[in-house]
Amino acid sequence: MPQTQNFTLSEAGYVLGRTPAMLNKAVDTGIILARQKKVGNIVQRLLGPAELRFLRLADELDKDLTPAGRRRLYGALRKLPEDAHKLQLGKLELDLAQIDTDLKDRMKRLETVRGRIDSEGDRGEALIRGTTISAHLIAALTRDEGVDAVLADFPSITRDQAEAAVEYAKAYPKRGRPYPTKSLKTTLAALADAGAFDDDSDLGEVGPRAIP
């Protein structure tokens, strides 16, 4: 596991398969602690390896842990070196090797995804590397249309690039106004199929009009 590596809640959510809202709640309720980092006017919450290890263990041991047991486990994990893969709790020894391997694999996947996206693209927009196409736009369209339909609309990108955009958007959600989940091409096609452009009987003669 990388040394002294901290993750934003959205990054940690990607690694753990949880939503940032779930992780925020875990911090708010005192289940885990978060470091804080100010970025501009925003204060980010950051989770370290101990928090990721604890949440993965809690998923597996949830029914077997009392609130006191959770606190004891979390406290022990916070003291455990990151390169130690066995945890001693009284007479109980926990082998963390598989959990650490799983977390490491997801962290590597996150690094791979980041490598396929230019996060400092035009006007601060995250672009699929080597293109001028927004990663968040592709991710939004994919939610409703699926990868195959998006690839048909954007033939210049590959399936791997589209899938990387989807994963990138999970770890780094778009701020501000979201992109539409249907492309203009798809919307116009749906309108045409519904006959929206067929009946022009009420349109009358179309011509220039004088501006009053």
- Per DSSP, what are the bridge partners of residue 81? none
Q: How many CA atoms lie within 13 A of 35 on its CB side?
A: 15
Q: At residue 13, what is the residue type?
A: G
What's the DSSP call for residue 179? P
Contact present, 190 and 149 (Cβ < 8 Å): no
Residues 6+ apart with CB under 8 A from 113: 164, 167, 168, 171
Q: Single out the residue of 148, 137, 152, 117 nearest to residue 182, CA to CA.
A: 137
Q: pLDDT of the chain along its 212 residues, tens only?
A: 445 689 999 999 999 999 999 999 999 999 999 999 998 888 899 999 999 999 998 888 877 778 888 899 999 999 999 999 999 888 889 999 999 999 999 999 999 999 999 987 667 789 999 999 999 999 999 988 899 999 999 999 999 999 999 999 999 998 877 777 766 666 555 555 566 556 655 555 555 656 55
What's the token pair of residue 160?
């791997």
Residues 6+ apart with CB under 8 A from 4: 48
Strands 86-89 and 92-95: antiparallel
What's the token pair of residue 170?
């999970």
How high is the pLDDT of residue 162? 96
Residues 6+ apart with CB under 8 A from 77: 50, 53, 54, 57, 87
User: What gap in Å lies between CA 94 and CA 96, rounded to an integer?
Assistant: 6
What pTM was computed for the model? 0.79
Beta strands of 76-153 (E only): which ranges? Answer: 86-89, 92-95, 117-118, 127-128
CB atoms within 10 A of CB 31: 17
Q: How remote is the C-alpha of 78 from its chain's centroid?
A: 25
Tokens 């990054």, located at residue: 11
